[in-house]
Amino acid sequence: MAQKSKNGFAFFERGSWYHRMRWYDEEYLVRYGKKGGFKTEEEAEKSYMKYLEEFEEQKRNLMRKKDASIEFTYYLQKWLQQQNYFQSNTKKVYQYVLGQALPYMPKIKMCAVNEIYLFIVK
């Protein structure tokens, strides 16, 4: 089992210190990984704090870029059109479900959709 640092930000594995990291990829999805090779726990924690600040800055920049004009129903329709890897039957099921659900969904902007809205809608 890996030894953890005092703060829990770093861990010792395979002879060196590591830390977890998050970043946004080109499709704005959060990706996870680990960075290692640090000789001391302090170096790993310092690197962790640096990567954490970069991740938070990326998040702030994405929030500023939000397009407040796109409606959620429009987004769902466009999303389905772009799903080329779905099997034919799967796409038909999604089309049916969206066809049934979209007329009953309120007109809400994509930037206002969050977990609470999705929970209330179902």
With a pLDDT cut of 70, the percent of the chain lying above it is: 89
Do both 54 and 77 map to the same domain?
A: no
What burial letters (b/e) apply to 41-77, b meaning 16+ CB within 10 Å?
beebbebbeebeeeeeeeeeeeeeeeeeeebbbeebe
Do both 37 and 77 map to the same domain?
A: no
Domain count, the chain: 2
Q: List CB contacts of 97: < 8 A, sequence separation 6 or more.
A: none
Do both 86 and 115 map to the same domain?
A: yes
pTM above 0.75, yes or no: no
Do both 16 and 48 map to the same domain?
A: yes
Tell me which of 113 and 92 has the higher pLDDT: 92
Do both 45 and 78 map to the same domain?
A: no
Predicted pLDDT of residue 85:
80
Predicted pLDDT of residue 98:
87
Host domain of residue 45: 3-65
Do both 15 and 60 map to the same domain?
A: yes
Do both 8 and 60 map to the same domain?
A: yes
Over residues 52-103, the pLDDT tens digits come to 999 999 988 887 776 667 888 888 888 888 887 888 888 889 889 888 988 8
Please name the amino acid found at residue 49. Answer: M
